[in-house]
Amino acid sequence: MSVYFDEERSVFCLMTENTSYMIGIADGKYVGHAYYGARMEDCGCGYLLRTDERPEPPSRNIREKAAFADSFFYEYSTWGVGDYRDSCLRVRTEGGARACELVFDGYRILDGKPELPGLPSTFAGEAGSAQTLEIVCRDDCLKLKVILRYSIFEDSDALIRSVELVNEGGERLYLEKVLSACLDMDNNEFQMLTLTGSWARERHMGYQKVSRGYQGVGTTRGISSHQEHPFIALVTENITETTGEVYAMNFVYSGNFKADVELSQFDTVRMTMGIHPDGFEWVLEPGASFTAPEVVCVYSDSGLGQMTRTFHDLYRNHLIRSRWLHEKRPVLINNWEATYFDFDTERLLEIASEAAKDGVEMLVMDDGWFGRRNDDTCSLGDWSVNEKKLPGGLAYLSRRLKEMGMRFGIWLEPEMVSPDSDLYRSHPDWAVHVPGREGTLSRSQYILDLSRPEVVDYVSESVARVLRSADISYVKWDMNRQMTEVGSACLDSACQGELYHRYVLGVYELQSRLLREFPELLLENCTSGGGRFDPGMLYYSPQIWCSDDTDAMERLAIQEGTALLYPLSTIGAHVSICPNHIVGRVTPFETRGYVALGGTFGYELDIMRLSGEERGQMRQQIELYHKYQSLVREGDYYRLASARENHEYDCYMVVSKDRREALVTYIQVRARANFHSRRIRLAGLAEDTCYVLEETGRQYSGRLLMKGGILAAPMAGDYTGKLYHFSAVS
């Protein structure tokens, strides 16, 4: 890893082990993007800025300044001075003018990586393991300073970008749009890869050819969303797991975002990512600063697999803060799909005591334990135990569980308020709303205005009070609606555009406070399933409920898309009952277990309804979990085949970092008639190592497994599955 400035050539270089990112200064003024790609020691790449071609830079061709601005490869594009492509920054003055031009005004190279105030961000860990380049630009007319930050880590090929704006003048500035990253490049017949979906269908991988104009993803729902994901990648045609180039961006943020690709008149592409400008406006007072959340950029010249493993390692080593990150997570049973709202202490203890017999280690009590909540129409905000359901309260329940050797986990939805709640009756103005306009209900609830410090204090104290009242090891932090009528009774009229972002900052503040007081807590975020599965939330919780869809076949595509970026240890995955509650499909219990083992693993079913055979399988699954959990949590992930593409089978594997152990998960989605076995080439093994397949005792070289492959025998029936476990013997 190294970061330096070649003064003679006016080029900044950021070198990771396998990549180089180079920034040139044109005319001594304009900060331009020269190169991003495979590592290249030669920083004489300033010519790639094309400043010797027409339109030349303004110093040589003042009359064509606008033409220059419209084609230059900017590191950070601004609105209103001739660059008509998508801009990163649009600023309005008190007088209503909207032009901004950033001019280079110095730089710093720092050891380490600064934290971003109030925001989750990647961190360096050990001193000296990261370096940061800060490029300072100014618009003297606006008296605006803009710091472009780039950080790299010793052990990663990722590049982290963020932006800080400082108002150095005496007048207010209105930030109408502040994106976090921009990447201008020549087009290379790129395709755009995104993760899109819906509730119960999150993060499906999808490609589309980049065509003239704008294309991209984004959301204004107030959460990073089920529908779109804060991720975008440009990939070369016919990309595979091992070949082709990838330029990827992932946003460390949990609210509104926008990620776009624009193909210009000159066949250049501009890729941008940041907070969605719709509904956003930030008042920058004199002397104040604003920091935009960070973007993780990953380049791979060896296909998607390398990109994935770069993200996984970065998030495991430099993002997730939880002390549970490298710990074995307790096998849990959650009562949601077993009982929904209809439970009491005895019912929970019955589930727990049965589950304990099979090796389950924690009971998670889901929605319905507080206020008068017997359905989803009331009581959010009133976080006191419903003693009718739970006599003796949480303390009694947790004590009884402890006697069985079980931990206790609890569901909370702290960001919400039901109109039918004591909290709402006392503080109707604490809900996000527009005065005089009826609030749109969603799941019969409103969102609390977390831009208000007193609301954050109230919520934080209510959650802490619950956790102080009993021995609680785990919290499922849920969030079940999107934003509408976005207004705050507290913010002044000029600052209403800050609410979306201030809300997200409020969520981050709440989770920071929670973990400060309860550092041992295992926190699992959830947003109607995976509606806020993003790097921002992962900073606080080492795992996130991936989807409300627990059907094993649906989960293949959901978990594949999620694992494109996020380690398997972050993916909340449970075995549930069949017919599945979302799609009605019936799959073998065994297969449900294999699929859930590709995540955090647990159960979400009425154990009393399982047959004796299924209970036996449950015990075996839990044994498999104990056996493979550290491999799955810490290993390198390889996609081998996708049922989303081939409609017949799915296969992926995890290889330990020392390449001494590997686990292959093979799921046969559709049985084929009259067919021989399927050959699957493995990946990530050491060629010269000899591996034994546990099931048969047969030995293979790593070379043979990767070039020759294994033969997966056909199985009788659809939705069947099998695990292949290999260990090194030499």
| Of the candidates 611, 688, 628, 695, the residue with the CA atom closest to the CA atom of residue 662 | 628
118 neighbors 505 (Cβ within 8 angstroms): yes
Q: Applying CB under 6 A, which of residues 167, 528, 665, 668 lies at the interface with ligand DGJ? A: 528
Nearer to ligand DGJ, 366 or 415 (CB): 366
Q: Applying CB under 6 A, which of residues 545, 603, 637, 666 lies at the interface with ligand DGJ? A: 545
393 neighbors 345 (Cβ within 8 angstroms): no
- Write the single-letter amino acid at 313: D
Q: Which residues are marked as active site?
A: 478, 548
Where does this chain touch ligand DGJ (CB under 6 A) — which range of 117-125, 267-275, 354-362, 523-531? 523-531
Q: What's the closest the beta carbon of residue 384 comes to ligand DGJ, in angstroms?
A: 18
Where does this chain touch ligand DGJ (CB under 6 A) — which range of 183-191, 273-281, 526-534, 678-686? 526-534
Can you say whether the dihedral through the CA atoms of 47, 49, 52, 53 is positive or negative? positive
Residue number of the CB closest to ligand DGJ reads 367
Binding mask 345-384 for ligand DGJ (x = CB under 6 A): ---------------------xx-----------------
Q: Applying CB under 6 A, which of residues 30, 336, 508, 603 lies at the interface with ligand DGJ? A: 336
Nearer to ligand DGJ, 299 or 540 (CB): 540
CA separation for the pair 650, 598 (Å, rounded)? 12
Q: What's the closest the beta carbon of residue 376 comes to ligand DGJ, in angstroms?
A: 6
Q: Applying CB under 6 A, which of residues 75, 313, 548, 636 lies at the interface with ligand DGJ? A: 548
SS (H, E, C) 140-188: CCCCEEEEEEEEEECCCCEEEEEEEEEECCCCCEEEEEEEEEEEEEECC
Q: How many chain residues touch ligand DGJ (CB under 6 A)?
A: 11
Region class of 568: left (phi > 0), else alpha (psi between -120 and 50), else beta: alpha
Nearer to ligand DGJ, 104 or 336 (CB): 336
Residue 411 found at the interface with ligand DGJ (CB under 6 A): yes
CA separation for the pair 208, 193 (Å, rounded)? 7
Nearer to ligand DGJ, 273 or 338 (CB): 338
Residue 526 found at the interface with ligand DGJ (CB under 6 A): yes
CA separation for the pair 506, 205 (Å, rounded)? 31
Both tokens of 640, joined, read: 């081998």
Residue 529 found at the interface with ligand DGJ (CB under 6 A): yes
Q: What's the closest the beta carbon of residue 727 comes to ligand DGJ, in angstroms?
A: 36
Nearer to ligand DGJ, 200 or 450 (CB): 200
Q: What's the closest the beta carbon of residue 545 comes to ligand DGJ, in angstroms?
A: 6
- Which parts of 27-66 interact with ligand DGJ (CB under 6 A)? none
CA separation for the pair 585, 652 (Å, rounded)? 23
| Of the candidates 631, 599, 17, the residue with the CA atom closest to the CA atom of residue 298 | 17
Residue 575 found at the interface with ligand DGJ (CB under 6 A): no
369-373: Cβ within 8 A, 24+ apart: 369/394, 369/410, 369/411, 371/421, 371/422, 373/341
CA separation for the pair 482, 225 (Å, rounded)? 8
- Which parts of 461-520 interact with ligand DGJ (CB under 6 A)? 478, 480
Nearer to ligand DGJ, 480 or 617 (CB): 480
Nearer to ligand DGJ, 12 or 545 (CB): 545
**Residue 25: helix, strand or coil by DSSP?**
strand
**Residue 505: helix, strand or coil by DSSP?**
helix
Residue ranges that bind ligand DGJ, judged by CB under 6 A: 336, 366-367, 411, 478, 480, 526, 528-529, 545, 548
